[in-house]
Amino acid sequence: MSKGTYDPDWDFELQEDNEIKRVARKKFDELIDDKNPIDKKKLLVETFEGLLYEKWRLEWEYLNVKRAKEFEKNRPPQQKWYELKSPQFAEELYRNRMELKPNEQNKQYLQTLQDNYLY
């Protein structure tokens, strides 16, 4: 259906969706009414494990994106940064100062950030 015109194919798709929902609901009801509780518990545990794994994967991806941003913020300056004549000079100067921290703190921090399997 586009721009308010009637499309018979769209109506057919709606009927098809309702049929799929009806069949899915019937199968769900059969599963719940089943008298074998062991299978239901096993299915529920597998479902929750799947959900938790997906949440963990999304969290892992999110943390890796944050880690990449933090690494970019604290990375060493580019080569010959001191020759820059653009506004990027100030950013590279900041990175150079971060690089000169005592006891190589910045290098250790960057090595930690580069480990994608940290969390």
- pLDDT tens track for 7-66: 555 555 555 677 878 888 888 888 777 776 667 778 888 889 999 999 998 998 888 888
The pTM for the full model equals: 0.49
Contacts of 4 (CB under 8 A, 6+ apart): none
**CA separation for the pair 74, 87 (Å, rounded):** 18
pLDDT, one tens digit per residue, over 58-107 is 998 888 888 888 888 777 777 777 777 888 888 787 777 777 777 777 77
pLDDT at 61: 87
Report the half-sphere exposure of 95 (CA within 13 A, side-chain side).
19
Please say if the pLDDT value at position 4 is more than 70: no
CB neighbours (10 Å) of residue 17? 10
Going 7 to 8 to 10 to 11, the CA torsion angle's sign is positive
pLDDT at 53: 92
Calculate the alpha carbon distances from 91 to 80, 86, 88 in Å: 13, 10, 5
pLDDT at 1: 44
